Structure 1
Amino acid sequence: MAKLLYLANGAKKHAPGRLDQFFERQNLSVDVFWAFNNELPDSLDEYEGIFLSGSPHGAYEDIPFIHREHDLIREGAARNIPMLGLCFGHQILASALCGREQVFRRESCEVGYKWLDVHAPAERDLLCGGFNKTTHMFVWHNDEVRAGHPDMQIIASSDVCPNHIWRFRDRPIWGVQGHPEIPMADAREWFEGVRSRLEHDGANIEDLLAQASDADDGKTMLSRFAKLLHG
């Protein structure tokens, strides 16, 4: 059974979306390390893939686990280990592989369900092939990854953020800014759990629920990533 290293970068080891369980249902053996709490593996030898979760931190912060995770990402890339990051995971992949200046603090938060424009690199991509010209996803971020780096293939963007999904060169490494892990059935519970933070960043819970979708393309990316690890 292929083994996935799951780096949990959040303040809780298990986030509400429980993507560790999603990957287990894809017949992966999942090792969850609570990176936020300074739990990181000593070696990458036994892993076929790496997943990097969201975090309340910024990839540019001077925090020990973030420095260690940068090193781990670079080692994973040198070994050509497939990697997928969501939100903070998307940002720290960019910071580690394309330079720390790639990640910056936005002037305002982008939050809500957005239609993302899908670009030409998606057509031949292992995870995004077959997507339509737009894809729907919940997004919520105060930090952003710059577009335009020569080692980045930009796969999707929003009206205010030019880099929502990217791939590192032609390597099996992807970053996704949004949150495809939230199913419609769990949206109210998830949003209510973080209501104060969402409202602080300008969101309206009822508007979010009215716009909610299952982000099927995003879940396709997650499933295809799991299949990639099976070879």
Structure 2
Amino acid sequence: MKRLLLMEGSSLPALERAEQLGHETTAQVYARALLAENPSLDIDVLYGALEGGVPPQQLDWYDGFVISGSALHAYDDLPEVTRQIDWVQQVADQGLPIFGSCWGLQICAVAGGGVVERSIAHAEMGIARKIVATEAGRDHPLLADRPATFDAPCIHYDHVAQLPKGSVLLATNARCRVQAALIPIGKSLAWGVQYHPEFDLPHLAEIYEGYGDEMVGTGFFESRAALDDHIADLRKADSAMPDDPVAWRLGIDADILDGPTRRTELRNWLRHLG
């Protein structure tokens, strides 16, 4: 049985908002996806943004470290952010295997000496389109079983503008250069993706509900009514087939609709743990 430490990236206000709305936390979503790939996993949660947050066990008790998404910004000099970067560095000093999605990729980049920036020009809402592996990525186990081009769930305004020295870019697309990468930190080599292999469509719908005003304000939707229609389509599509009209409207297929396909990178990392 493998033991994982899963760092919840959300701040206390975000956790409280999820509870008020009846939504899953990012850690709950992540744990559900990991357990779908390996039901025998033992997963503990570290609330990395919270003052006084500590792992339930000593770090050397774990076989791997996973970092969830977050609405925080890796470039902000705030305790909620710097605590999590410190945790990444502590875990890396232990040499634990690391996997991070979105926020997880970004704080690994910062922990390793890279740069994260905000840019609407690189933002992706809902789906990261036409991700392609680099030459290095085509031969790396992170992207095993992925086709030459694929889509994946995502939501981000920030992006990795500069990878740390010694990093390897594994996947990219026209919107956001760093879609997947290997990042050396301390004694560890983090596997990170800008997209969210742990997300399903109902969770995307929840995120759209929680951050709808921002999405309308930044122009990703022309009105709240248009956003609400999109949220309804996301919920319909959860049980759709690739040839259903709602899937066509959203421009998605099995990359997004099929759970095992969405979770490919998680499965590959878990295999890497042995």
TM-score by length of 2: 0.72
Q: Which is worse superposed, 79-88 or 103-112? A: 103-112
1:28 aligns with 2:41: yes
Q: In structure 2, what is the Cα distance between the partners aligned to 1:143 and 1:203? A: 15
RMSD over aligned CA atoms reads 2.8
Which structure has the larger Rg? 2
Contact 1:147-1:162 within 8 A present in 2 as well: no
2:7 aligned partner:
7
1:133 aligns with 2:133: no
1:123 aligned partner:
138
Q: In structure 2, what is the Cα distance between the partners aligned to 1:141 and 1:127? A: 21
Contact 1:17-1:181 within 8 A present in 2 as well: no
* Partner deviation per Cα, 1:36-82 (whole Å, 9 max, x = no partner): 32323274121111111111211121222422322222232233211
Q: In structure 2, what is the Cα distance between the partners aligned to 1:118 and 1:35? A: 31
Label 1:147 to 1:201 Cα distance change in 2 as closer, same or farther (>3 A): same
For these two proteins, the number of residue pairs brought into alignment is 228
Contact 1:5-1:50 within 8 A present in 2 as well: yes
Which of 195, 198, 208 matches 2:212?
195
Q: Per-residue deviation at 1:83? A: 0.7
Contact 1:115-1:136 within 8 A present in 2 as well: yes
Contact 2:136-2:169 within 8 A present in 1 as well: yes
2:50 aligned partner:
37
Q: In structure 1, what is the Cα distance between the partners aligned to 2:28 and 2:77? A: 27
2:200 aligned partner:
183
Structure 2: where are the runs of 5+ without partners? Answer: 16-23, 222-226, 235-249
Contact 2:6-2:43 within 8 A present in 1 as well: yes
Same amino acid, percent of matched pairs: 25
1:78 aligns with 2:118: no
Higher relative helix content? 2
Q: In structure 2, what is the Cα distance between the partners aligned to 1:67 and 1:7? A: 14
Q: In structure 1, what is the Cα distance between the partners aligned to 2:220 and 2:152? A: 15
Q: Which is worse superposed, 214-223 or 19-28? A: 214-223
Q: In structure 2, what is the Cα distance between the partners aligned to 1:40 and 1:160? A: 36
Q: In structure 1, what is the Cα distance between the partners aligned to 2:41 and 2:84? A: 22
* Partner deviation per Cα, 1:126-166 (whole Å, 9 max, x = no partner): 22124222120133222110246442211111213211111
Show structure 1 runs of 4+ deviating over 6 A.
Answer: none
Contact 2:49-2:84 within 8 A present in 1 as well: no
Q: In structure 1, what is the Cα distance between the partners aligned to 2:28 and 2:214? A: 17
Label 1:189 to 1:9 Cα distance change in 2 as closer, same or farther (>3 A): closer
Matched residue of 1:30: which SS?
Answer: strand
2:116 aligned partner:
103
Label 1:225 to 1:201 Cα distance change in 2 as closer, same or farther (>3 A): farther
Contact 1:51-1:85 within 8 A present in 2 as well: yes
